[in-house]
Amino acid sequence: MDKLKVNIGSLALKNPVMTASGTFGYGKEFADFIDLSRLGGICVKGTTLHNRQGNPYPRMAETAAGMLNAVGLQNKGVDYFISDIYPEIKDIDTNIIVNVSGSTVEDYAECAARLADIEKIPAIELNISCPNVKEGGMAFGTSTSSAAQVVRAVRKVYHKTLIVKLSPNVTDITEIAKAVEAEGADSLSLINTLLGMAIDVEKRKPILSTITGGLSGPCVKPVALRMVWQTYNAVKIPIIGMGGISSWQDAVEFILAGATAIQIGTYNFVDPTISVKVVDGIADYLERHNISDIKNLVGKLQV
């Protein structure tokens, strides 16, 4: 299906459908449900320089058409990833992208550096937007100067495709987007989760151990779509859109708004086969509308 091919910087995707970090494990957990090679890419779980235990339980609250999470980047660190996980997933016939996080600029850069020469990791996604960690995370993504600083440091040590994942918890996402673009990022992905909260009224306590957490799922789609549209009109580098995608229609909405590729997150929990259904749905749509190349659809919203 050549008409589905897209490029994110120098990264070629067989189709625009990727899965979002933190919602797809390391990919292999889905091998029972779908043929992973049908995906454009897989963003694996947020990875940090050192092992992290994440936040205490409870980490999850269901909300109207969505959920809050407060995982807090639990992972065994980048070295463990390289030694123990990478060998198990490197032969999946798709693009494996590592989502990188840190509490300091140095951590980000060091983590990225260790991934720079791993053969089957063609790209990293810098998570400067995690709302669930005390230091760093979202703090980096909510000011232009700190966002620029992280990207600058990483760009120095990382020469493959560098995607930067933006936080929606800002007044003007285009400012951050432009600052990140100026530092040489190859692509922007958005949105990460919106900061939210839920309360158990009978116990009079927050449901999450961390009080607040990250909101995702269909409920955030209108906000995500608006931010993709705004960002598309502000930068030149390709955008990877996400936030609440649960159908091929949603994916096409993001593409029309300006996303070159999309990621599916929370809905993987509801329907572990949704990603391939979206691939098929987009293909059908192109067929039905006589569109010979999906690139001709990117940002083609008629306004």
Partner 1 sequence: MKKMLDLVVVENNKLNQNYCLLKLSTPDKSVLPEMYPGQFVEIRVVDSPTTFLRRPISVNFVDKLKNELWLLVQVVGDGTRKMSEYKTGTIVNLLLPLGNQFSTPEKHQQELLLVGGGVGTAPMLYLGAILKESGFNPKFLLGARSSKDLLQLDDFAQYGQVYTTTEDGSHGQKGFVTNHSILENIKFDRVYTCGPKPMMMAVANYAHKNQIECEVSLENTMACGFGVCLCCVEDTKHNGNVCVCTEGPVFNIKDLKWIS
Ligand X SMILES: Cc1cc2nc3c(=O)[nH]c(=O)nc-3n(C[C@H](O)[C@H](O)[C@H](O)COP(=O)(O)O)c2cc1C
Q: Can you name the residues that pair with 165 across neighbouring β-strands?
A: 127, 189
Which among ligand X, its own copies, partner 1, none contacts residue 257 (Cβ within 5 to 8 A by kind)? its own copies
* Shortest Cβ 80–its own copies spacing (Å): 33
Give residues in contact with partner 1 (CB under 8 A).
Answer: 22-25, 29-30, 32-33, 45, 53-54, 56-60, 62-67, 69, 71, 74, 217-218, 266, 268-273
Shorter beta-carbon distance to its own copies: residue 27 or 265: 265
In terms of CB distance, is 74 or 146 closer to partner 1?
74
Q: Shortest gap between Cβ of 26 and ligand X (angstroms)?
A: 12
Considering the complex, state which of residue 121 and residue 292 has its C-beta at the smaller distance from ligand X. 121
Among candidate residues 62, 33, 45, 27, the one with its CA nearest the CA of residue 271: 33
Q: Which amino acid is at 286?
A: L
Q: With H, G, I as helix, E, B as strand and everything else as coil, classify residue 27.
A: coil
Burial of 73-90, coded b for 16+ CB within 10 Å and e otherwise, reads: bbbbbbeebbeebbeebe
Are 162 and 137 in contact by the 8 Å Cβ rule? The answer is no
Q: What is the dihedral of CA 149, 150, 154, 155, to 10 degrees?
A: -50
Nearer of residues 89 and 109 to partner 1, judged by Cβ? 89
Q: How far apart are CA 251 and CA 262, in angstroms?
A: 7
Q: How far is the CB of 257 from partner 1 (least distance, A)?
A: 20
Contact residues toward ligand X (CB under 6 A) are 20-23, 45-46, 69, 71, 73, 99, 127, 130, 165, 192-193, 216-217, 220, 242-245, 264-267
Q: Taking the complex as a whole, how short is the minimal distance between the CB of residue 124 and ligand X, in angstroms?
A: 11
- Interaction partner, residue 186 (ligand X, its own copies, partner 1, none; CB < 5-8 Å by kind): none
Residues that bind its own copies (CB under 8 A): 61, 63-66, 68, 142, 169-172, 194-199, 201, 203-206, 211-212, 215, 217-223, 225-226, 229, 244, 249, 252-253, 256-257, 285, 300-303
Taking the complex as a whole, the smallest distance from the CB of residue 247 to its own copies amounts, in Å, to: 10
Contact yes or no for 258/299 (Cβ under 8 A): yes
178: amino acid identity, one letter: K
**Rounded to the nearest 10 degrees, what angle do helices 144-157 and 173-182 cross at?**
30
* Binding site partner of 10, from partner 1, ligand X, its own copies, none, Cβ cut-off 5-8 A by kind: none
Q: Kindly tell me which of 63 and 149 has the beta carbon lying closer to its own copies.
A: 63
34, 271 contact by CB (below 8 A): no
Does 130 qualify as catalytic in the annotation? yes
Give the whole-angstrom CA distance, residue 164 versus residue 127: 6
Q: What is the C-alpha separation between 24 and 31, in angstroms, rounded?
A: 11
Contacts of 119 (CB under 8 A, 6+ apart): 90
Nearest approach, Cβ of residue 236 and ligand X (Å): 22
Of the listed 43, 111, 130, 219, which one is catalytic?
A: 130
Residue 198 interacts with which of partner 1, ligand X, its own copies, none, CB < 5 to 8 Å by class: its own copies
Strand partners, 174: none
Q: How many CB atoms lie within 10 A of CB 290?
A: 6
Residue nearest to ligand X (CB): 22
Using the minimum distance from each CB to ligand X, give the nearer residue, 242 or 286.
Answer: 242
Contact of residue 32 among ligand X, its own copies, partner 1, none (CB under 5-8 Å per partner type): partner 1
Residue linked to tokens 């909300």 = 63
* Catalytic residue list: 130
